[in-house]
């Protein structure tokens, strides 16, 4: 059953919250293999008397009030020995994003907020895409990603992926004609220069500084490269998988047009795209976080991140306030040094609980 205002929400002991966090981190859940971790999470809610189930996409759902707390269950690959040492939890996913995930699960139990643990965020966001098509629009959305307990993320760049491929007749390596690998390298260099030039012309540089210039720029990143002599020996071939990050004010179509204008040979096939998002700091949700952080003696910061998250999908699909919050240092995402201080986890639960209680009183 769902939790109403009239019912008393159980208080989760700090030791039990820590146990949940450690158990989630100990349970591998690389994208595409989240089932066991999802079952563990659903069981946690059921043990606390909350209705919970796993939907067709593999998401864990625990309905509650109009405040939706959602974070992702999956992680990137990479084994990090799980241990708690000196109040610090080490392990894959401790920061991205099982720290935020566990904090939201505990908070949902304690406040009656709705909860969804989604799958596939690190790959194709299939869980979030399924959710926006099969979930009644909430009043508020808090997306779980590491921001630090005393900061709230308001903006993310968008995302576009594509594959450049080229094949040219083979010639002797002493000849000056470009082979496929040279064409591929040349195209990548040209698009990087094109977007740098475009940034310069609008006053948005390509380096990180306090003005958030990377957030405001398009960046291109090759993520795989394959090239060489074709199997029949009659051509050279090359293929690059490339990802673009899209700042607010720029569209995926504009990036495609610029990238294709730099083609001398070959072609680009385009794949997924996600629109950028930038939330207002003046929404009721953002204000609630600032008040809650100050209530825990913090000095709240408002962040814009250069990556992309499920928050982009929620903000595009739903006409309600969306922010991102969670414990942890995001510079540790996907690294071999991923770890989370348990004290920060506790602070984040306190902040989230204060936010949900404040908003819940108005629903």
Predicted TM-score of the model (pTM): 0.90
Average pLDDT over residues 113-138: 97
pLDDT at 1: 39
* One domain, residues 286 and 260: no
* One domain, residues 110 and 228: no
Average pLDDT over residues 7-19: 88
In a domain, 351, yes or no: yes
Enclosing domain of residue 99: 14-156+277-360
- Total count of domains within the chain: 2
Given its phi and psi angles, is residue 309 left (phi above 0), alpha (psi -120 to 50 degrees) or beta?
A: beta
Average pLDDT over residues 122-145: 97
Q: Any idea what the Cα angle at residue 347 is, between residues 358 and 89, rounded to 5°? A: 140
In a domain, 243, yes or no: yes
* One domain, residues 191 and 325: no
161-202 pLDDT per residue, tens: 999 999 999 999 999 999 999 999 999 999 999 998 655 443
Selecting among 34, 96, 121, 216, the annotated active-site residue is 121
Which residue would you say has higher pLDDT here, 274 or 9?
Answer: 274
* One domain, residues 184 and 268: yes
14-18, 211-215, 290-294: the lowest-pLDDT one: 211-215
* One domain, residues 43 and 190: no
Catalytic annotation on 192? no
pLDDT at 9: 77
In a domain, 112, yes or no: yes
Selecting among 74, 139, 310, 338, the annotated active-site residue is 74
> Which of 281-288's residues contact partners 24+ apart within 8 Å by CB, and which partners?
281/154, 283/321, 283/323, 284/140, 284/321, 284/359, 284/362, 285/140, 285/142, 285/321, 285/322, 285/323, 285/355, 285/359, 286/152, 286/154, 286/321, 286/323, 288/354, 288/355, 288/358, 288/359
* One domain, residues 77 and 104: yes
Inter-helix orientation angle 98-111/342-360, to 10°: 40
Judge whether residue 281 has pLDDT over 70. yes
In a domain, 91, yes or no: yes
- pLDDT bin (cut points 50, 70, 90) of residue 10 is confident
- Beta pairing, strands 140-144 & 67-72: parallel
* One domain, residues 152 and 281: yes
Give the domain CATH number at 60: 3.40.630.10
| Mean pLDDT of the chain, nearest integer | 93
Average pLDDT over residues 315-339: 97
- pLDDT bin (cut points 50, 70, 90) of residue 272 is confident
* One domain, residues 141 and 106: yes
Catalytic annotation on 121? yes
* One domain, residues 294 and 152: yes
Q: In the structure encoding, which two tokens stand for residue 179, read together?
A: 């082979």
List the 235-246 sheet strands across, edge first: 219-229, 235-246, 158-169, 267-274
- pLDDT bin (cut points 50, 70, 90) of residue 363 is confident
* One domain, residues 139 and 177: no
In a domain, 4, yes or no: no
* One domain, residues 106 and 26: yes
pLDDT at 244: 97
In a domain, 9, yes or no: no
């Amino acid at each position: 059953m769902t939790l109403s205002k009239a019912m008393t929400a159980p208080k989760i002991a700090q030791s039990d919250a820590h146990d949940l966090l450690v158990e989630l981190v100990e349970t591998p859940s690389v994208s595409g293999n989240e089932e066991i971790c999802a079952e563990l999470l659903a069981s946690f809610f059921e043990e606390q008397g909350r209705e919970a189930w796993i939907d067709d996409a593999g998401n864990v759902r625990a309905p509650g009030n109009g405040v939706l707390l959602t974070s992702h269950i999956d992680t990137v690959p990479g084994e990090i020995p799980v241990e708690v040492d000196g109040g610090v939890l080490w392990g894959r996913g401790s920061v991205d994003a099982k720290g935020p995930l566990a904090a939201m699960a505990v908070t949902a139990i304690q406040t009656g907020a709705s909860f969804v643990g989604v799958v596939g965020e690190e790959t194709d966001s299939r869980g979030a895409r399924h959710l926006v098509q099969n979930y009644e629009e909430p009043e508020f959305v808090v997306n779980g990603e590491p921001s630090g307990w005393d900061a709230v993320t308001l903006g993310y760049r968008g995302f576009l992926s594509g594959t450049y491929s080229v094949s040219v007749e083979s010639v002797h390596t002493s000849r000056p004609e470009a082979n496929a690998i040279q064409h591929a390298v040349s195209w990548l260099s040209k698009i990087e220069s094109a977007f740098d030039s475009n940034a310069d012309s609008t006053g948005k540089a390509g380096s990180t500084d306090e003005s958030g210039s990377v957030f405001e720029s398009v960046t291109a990143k090759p993520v795989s490269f394959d090239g060489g002599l074709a199997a029949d020996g009659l051509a050279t071939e090359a293929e690059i998988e490339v990802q673009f990050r899209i700042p607010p004010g720029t569209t995926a179509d504009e990036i495609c047009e610029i990238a294709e204008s730099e083609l001398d040979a070959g072609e680009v096939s385009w794949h997924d795209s996600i629109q950028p998002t930038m939330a207002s700091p003046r929404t009721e949700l953002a204000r609630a976080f600032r008040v809650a952080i100050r209530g825990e003696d913090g000095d709240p910061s408002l962040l814009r991140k250069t990556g992309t998250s499920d928050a982009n999908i929620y903000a595009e699909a739903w006409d309600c306030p969306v922010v991102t919050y969670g414990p942890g240092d995001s510079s540790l995402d996907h690294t071999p040094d991923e770890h989370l201080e348990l004290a920060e986890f506790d602070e984040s639960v306190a902040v989230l609980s204060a936010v949900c209680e404040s908003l819940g009183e108005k629903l």
